[in-house]
Structure 1
Amino acid sequence: MTDRRRYGDAGQAFPIYITVVAGLLFLALVYFAVGQATVNRSGAQTAADAAALAAAQDTRDQLAGEWVKAVLDPNEWQEILTGHGREVRSSCWRAAELAAQNDAHLLEGACRQHFLDYTVRVETNSPMGESVVPLTSTKHSKASATAVIEPRCDIGPPAADADAGALPVLTCHGEEWNLDPKNPTDLPEPQDLFDVHLADR
């Protein structure tokens, strides 16, 4: 009698065991799918960040180039430092380049410049992959980012002991640049004139 009960209990426990194992396996597959999606979304955000920064850095370099050309005309300095360079072209091509290097692409019309910032939106080239979650095999992650160009310099009057016709003193994060109008060779670099960073999300 005891043996029959033991075998009967074992037979009843077996379906429960199978159900529990199947449930755990399903949960493991779901966690794996969530992990795939997280990695894909992270890749999209990395591509968006890189694209926005690349576009902003290219524009920063263009503005710095214009500033160097206008170094003897201080009336132009403020315009350039506030992003109103006359010859600055869109740097969305750089955003597209960096997105492609990160296995993504810019969405149509999703690179916008507003003077000293760039906002981009990208989509990953690769889908999230096959999983137990429906539609992930064809779903692509999207992400957006904004990069900001900030002037680092203040324009002050010429030094008190400067000769007539001296250029204004340019102070960039505490460092003074006393430029010689007759020999303006020691000039700030683009990173001295402007800071480029991602906007807070």
Structure 2
Amino acid sequence: MAAAQDARDELMDGLEGAIGVDDDWLDWLDGDGFEGAGAAAAAGELAAQNDSTVTGFAPYAVAGYPGYQVEIRTNYTVGDSIIPGTEGMHATADAVAVIKPRCDFDLPDDPEDAVELDCDGEPVDIDPEDFDVDDLPDASVLFSVHLAE
């Protein structure tokens, strides 16, 4: 989840920098354009906070939505157990988290025209001609991050 959340933040940074500057700013609303530069580090940091290590990391798409597959292993062993032979084993887990746009909108004829987004029932208006970064809602309004597998 941490990797996808970091990528979602990168999406927001890219969107903020593109509105009113780049004619392709609407592509950012579809979840396109991010590189995921900090995603692996974010996954590693969350794993470390849980006394674990990332053992596998890869970009992963589900139903066309970008995300990441992360595998972890605990740094500690199972310890005393009623199951003989397991005391020296490490727990492992893997998950896939994806970033999914929450907003529907009609493409304007001109990328400099205002756009009205419907983000799961919450209206968001973006006017590239009169844009202030403070007008954008929290990233979670525009994009959801959830476990896919």
TM-score normalized by the length of structure 2 = 0.80
1:112 pairs with 2:55 = no
User: What is the root-mean-square deviation of aligned Cα atoms in Å?
Assistant: 2.1
Contact 1:157/1:169, CA 8 A, preserved across alignment: no
Deviations along 1:2-37, one digit per CA (max 9) or x if unpaired, are xxxxxxxxxxxxxxxxxxxxxxxxxxxxxxxxxxxx
**4+ residue runs over 6 A deviation:** none
In structure 1, the residue matched to 2:97 is: 147
Choose from 79, 84, 95 the match for 1:129: 79
In structure 2, the residue matched to 1:188 is: 137
Choose from 63, 69, 75 the match for 2:11: 63
Give the AA of the match of 2:69: T
Q: In 2, distance between residues paired with 1:176 and 1:131?
A: 54
Runs of 5+ consecutive residues of structure 1 not aligned to the other structure: 1-52, 159-164
Structure with higher strand content = 2
Q: In 1, distance between residues paired with 2:31 and 2:145?
A: 13
Deviations along 1:38-75, one digit per CA (max 9) or x if unpaired, are xxxxxxxxxxxxxxx11110000000110111112453
In structure 2, the residue matched to 1:94 is: 42
In structure 2, the residue matched to 1:172 is: 119
Q: In 2, distance between residues paired with 1:125 and 1:88?
A: 26
CA 1:87–1:117 in 2, change beyond 3 Å: closer, same or farther? closer
Runs of 5+ consecutive residues of structure 2 not aligned to the other structure: none
Q: In 2, distance between residues paired with 1:181 and 1:82?
A: 17
Contact 1:74/1:168, CA 8 A, preserved across alignment: no
TM-score normalized by the length of structure 1 = 0.61
Structure with higher helix content = 1
Identity of aligned residues (%): 40
3-state DSSP class of the match of 1:182? helix
Q: Give the Å deviation of 1:135.
A: 2.3
Aligned residues: 139
Please say which structure displays the higher CA radius of gyration.
Answer: 1
Q: Give the Å deviation of 1:114.
A: 2.7
CA 1:82–1:90 in 2, change beyond 3 Å: closer, same or farther? farther
Give the AA of the match of 1:99: A
Q: Give the Å deviation of 1:190.
A: 0.9
CA 1:141–1:157 in 2, change beyond 3 Å: closer, same or farther? closer
